[in-house]
Structure 1
Amino acid sequence: MTHAHFRPGDQVVILKGVAGGELWGDAMTVVTPSWHTPTDEDGWRLRDPNGGQQTFITAHPRYMVHLSRRCPDCLIYLRALEDYLLPKFADAHTEIDCGWYSTTALNQLVHIADVRGGR
């Protein structure tokens, strides 16, 4: 997904794992553009409606999937992820956090494929 694909106010999900044969993640609201330091690219500041220790984080657009609208690009992306990931966890009957993301000290969400220099 590109940066321009999202807008402030969009509802998105950050997919984190598998539960009951489906992908699951954290639902968040897009707030404002924000520089994503781990990738050195445009990202989005997101708000977690549940609050907590990290109410606001910055994420790269490729980590996000629309919840608020059924756009073709997100549906294609979601289907590809399901086709690839769900068979790997077909026997899982519990919620599995796949550990794809961590959060930096600056509240920047980073995917394991984007971590640089052990950060």
Structure 2
Amino acid sequence: MPDTPPTSAFAPTPDPLTPERDITHAHFRAGDTVVVLKGVAGNELWGDAMRLVAPSWHTPTDENGWRLRNATGGARSYVTAHPRYLVHLARRCPDCLIYLRAMEDALLPRYAGRNELINCGWYTTTALGELVHIADVRGGR
């Protein structure tokens, strides 16, 4: 993943939706372009855009995940992530649009009028190259 921008003084901001999001591995396909939402920039949500490469076991959640390629490279060009972290970027599917709108409703009012990039501090990357939401971290990993 590219270097993460500094976290806002207000972070970590509670993530009201991702930990309980019910989305299956089969919702996505290899080749899909997705975004992992990480915060707010101005009046928009922002995150890392990536392409799904192949199915991959996500050890932190003990569930089927996806191997992702970040075209911009950085410290981690490839990571593994759980499907609930992902939102279709190139395809307008109803499930992802509902989640995206709900995240906008939950976050944008909180940071209204602020123009800086705000990293909400939801994700970390393990030594094994697995993207992990703070709600999914087990045993301090």
Query: Which bin holds the TM-score, normalised by the shorter protein?
Result: over 0.9
| Equivalent residue for 1:38, pick from 45, 56, 60 | 60
Query: Is the Cα–Cα contact under 8 Å of residues 60 and 136 in structure 2 kept in the other structure?
Result: yes
Q: Measure how far apart 1:111 and its partner are.
A: 0.3
Structure 1 residues 7-86: aligned runs within 5 Å = 7-86=29-108
Q: Measure how far apart 1:106 and its partner are.
A: 0.3
TM-score (norm 2): 0.82
CA distance in 2, matches of 1:112, 1:77: 18
Query: Is the Cα–Cα contact under 8 Å of residues 42 and 113 in structure 2 kept in the other structure?
Result: no
User: Structure 2: which amino acid aligns with 1:50?
Assistant: T
**Number of equivalences:** 119
Q: Deviations over 1:59-97 (max 9, x none)?
A: 000000001111111001100111111111113210011
CA distance in 1, matches of 2:34, 2:95: 13
Q: Which has the higher contact order (CA 8 A, sep 6+)?
A: 2
Q: Secondary structure at the match of 2:108?
A: helix
Q: Secondary structure at the match of 1:114?
A: coil
Q: Secondary structure at the match of 1:81?
A: helix
CA RMSD of the aligned region, Å?
0.8
Match of 1:112 in 2: 134
| Equivalent residue for 1:99, pick from 121, 125, 134 | 121
User: Structure 1: which amino acid aligns with 2:110?
Assistant: K
| Gaps in structure 2 of 5+ consecutive residues | 1-22
| Gaps in structure 1 of 5+ consecutive residues | none
Identity, in percent, stands at 73
TM-score (norm 1): 0.97
Q: Secondary structure at the match of 1:16?
A: strand
